[in-house]
Amino acid sequence: MQTNKKELEKSQIEFEVTLSLDEFNPYLEKGAQKLAKDVKVEGFRPGKVPYDVLKQKVGEMAILEESANIAIRATIDEVLDKNLEGEQLAGKPQVEIVKLAPNNDFTYKVTMPVLPKVKLGQYKDLSIKDEQNEVDDKEIEKTLEQLKEMKAKESAKDGQAETGDKLTLDISMSIDGAPVEGGESKDTTVVLGKDYFLPGFDEKLLGAKKDETKEFSLTYPKDHHQKHLAGKNVDFSVKVKEVTQREVPEFNDDFAKTLQFNSMSELKEAIKKNVLAEKEKKESMRKERELMETLIEKSDIGEIPEEVVKDEAKGMLEEMKKNVEAQGGKFEDYLSHLKKTEDQLLTDFMPDAVKRIKIALILKEVGKEEKISVSSEEIDNKIEELKKTYAGQEEAQKQINSLEYKRHLNHALLSDKIVKKLKEWNYADSSQK
């Protein structure tokens, strides 16, 4: 059996495999035997039809094609084992018959995507630095205001709307008589005086009563985030469906006690700690993102096969689906809110999919270079920990004990170990791991 290897673009490898006539003849016999079992010829038992009679019955090409399929299945694993030379398959091999004719050698071609080669650049002493995390009084006051708003007592109001009242509105927007795209909204709530909707909007509704419709015009700021409205003069028709009076509590120790704190100072200190913890969490994520992006910049990575990127993007889409559904939402509704199709989302995910694949390849290479591994004891300990966490959940226990999950766990623990070492080597302040 002769094999010629050729490296193609986009991390594809091609093998052209040729079996001589003598090598192909045993498969020719097997192909004829297989077809003979399914062919009825008067005077012959199934499977006992002579080759020449079978050839007249089904045609010689049918025998050759069946024989070729058997030959490919019998030889392809050997071809890959002997010739991949360290490359790792990244998708299904595509097989194409090149030459198939009576009394001739048989040739087929195998094309497959492989993971690209990675040449690591500098991956130590990159000096990824902390950004300062401080909490100022304004941030504490903002959180207090939010808590105060949540504790407000509400009651229906028949009189005129005043600053601090909450209004439930149906809003219609138009420009020069034409409806604005996305400018229709029902049951929108605003608290007068907050100016969350648009500067000047709340002021136009002061004095409004329930069931009253207000019509007015406002000009959107030139730097407004909605580009199709920025700088435009927009006509509003606003129906007031409800006016709600709100009684907001004062900041004092009694207010703190409603939140299970002894005093305002204790509440403020708790808020400060929570805000700082959230900032530190975001900073940790930022530093890790910077580290990974720096590693990608400094490494030389071959072109990633398109189908590998598509598979990763599909995985990201599935993650998003699960997250939306876990929060009680419907993915179809989420897509409608985004005004996107699944295919459009997949396209959006492609750049991040490439980045994720590159990071995974770099981590694998660093692990090999530094001889980082996960012991069977570490895997067993993690499995025991998970069993306790999901005690009594039969399906979860079955999954945890599966061989597939152990492979997944090995990969996850190994990646965690490698990332932890990279942080130790590269964070200027290695206390944040």
The answer to whether residues 321 and 242 belong to one domain is no
The answer to whether residues 268 and 330 belong to one domain is no
pLDDT tens per residue, range 257-310: 999 999 999 999 999 999 999 999 999 999 999 999 999 999 999 889 888 899
Residue at 432 is within a domain: no
pLDDT bracket for residue 46 (50, 70, 90): low
For residue 15, the domain's CATH number is 3.30.70.1050
Residue 182 pLDDT > 90: no
Helix 342-369 × helix 306-326 angle, to 10°: 110
The answer to whether residues 126 and 275 belong to one domain is yes
For residue 337, the domain's CATH number is 1.10.3120.10
Residue pair 365/120 in contact by the 8 Å Cβ criterion: yes
The answer to whether residues 50 and 38 belong to one domain is yes
For residue 187, the domain's CATH number is 3.10.50.40
The answer to whether residues 101 and 128 belong to one domain is no
Q: What are phi and psi of 98, to 5 degrees?
A: -100, -45
The answer to whether residues 217 and 259 belong to one domain is no
Name every residue whose Cβ is closer than 8 Å to that of residue 72 and which is 6 or more positions away in sequence: 95, 108
pLDDT bracket for residue 385 (50, 70, 90): very high
The answer to whether residues 159 and 49 belong to one domain is no
The answer to whether residues 370 and 388 belong to one domain is yes
Residue 431 pLDDT > 60: no
pLDDT bracket for residue 432 (50, 70, 90): very low
The answer to whether residues 376 and 400 belong to one domain is yes
The answer to whether residues 175 and 88 belong to one domain is no
CA distance 160 to 158: 7
**Percentage of residues of the chain with pLDDT beyond 90:** 72
pLDDT tens per residue, range 135-172: 999 999 999 999 998 899 999 999 999 999 999 999 99
CA distance 319 to 206: 46
Here the tokens at position 303 are 């072109």
Task: Please state the pTM of the whole predicted model.
Answer: 0.72
The answer to whether residues 272 and 147 belong to one domain is yes
CA distance 13 to 71: 21
Looking at residue 45, what is its pLDDT?
67
Residue at 431 is within a domain: no
∠ CA 327-331-336, rounded to 5°: 120
Looking at residue 433, what is its pLDDT?
43
Work out how many domains the chain is built from and give that number. Answer: 4
pLDDT bracket for residue 133 (50, 70, 90): confident
pLDDT tens per residue, range 335-346: 988 889 999 999
Residue at 433 is within a domain: no
Classify the C-alpha dihedral 153-154-159-163 as positive or negative: positive
Name every residue whose Cβ is closer than 8 Å to that of residue 83 and which is 6 or more positions away in sequence: 3, 5, 15
pLDDT bracket for residue 409 (50, 70, 90): very high
Here the tokens at position 74 are 């019998």
Range of the domain at 200: 152-247
Largest CA distance in the chain: 105
The answer to whether residues 309 and 386 belong to one domain is yes
DSSP 316-367: HHHHHHHHHHHTT--HHHHHHHHT--HHHHHHHHHHHHHHHHHHHHHHHHHH
**Percentage of residues of the chain with pLDDT beyond 70:** 98
Q: How many CA atoms lie within 13 A of 198 on its CB side?
A: 24
Looking at residue 253, what is its pLDDT?
94
